[in-house]
Amino acid sequence: MTLVHFLLLLFLVVCAFFVGRTKDLISATIVFSAYSLTMALLWQQLASPDVAITEAAIGAGVTTLLLFAAISRTRRME
């Protein structure tokens, strides 16, 4: 396991923890998108480009847009 893999895994754990602990939905969506992009990078490093492209397109792209669309239809409470 190289240093790059270790740093990517550490960033994944930090993102997952932050998404679970934050109360702001927009911040959680942005961090979840960063989590998905990091997963795509990790899949690419593990020599699985087809899974990496799918993770980047669906996980970071479509899911983020759908979450933002759902959040835009709700009221924000301060």
**This prediction's pTM:** 0.86
Q: Report residue 68's pLDDT band, with 50, 70 and 90 as the boundaries.
A: very high
Per-residue burial over 12-45, b = 16 or more CB atoms within 10 Å of its CB, e = otherwise? beebeebbeeeeeeeebbbbbbbbbbbbbbbbee
| Domain presence at residue 18 | yes
Is 77 inside any structural domain?
A: no
Q: Report the domain count for the chain.
A: 1
- Contact 48/9 with Cβ under 8 angstroms? no
- Domain with 54, as residue range(s), is 3-72
- Domain assignment present for residue 54? The answer is yes
Does residue 78 belong to any structural domain of this protein?
no
Q: What is the mean pLDDT of residues 16-28?
A: 92
* Average pLDDT for 35-58: 92
Which pLDDT value is given to residue 78? 62
Find, among 35, 21, 23, 24, the residue nearest to 63 by Cα: 35
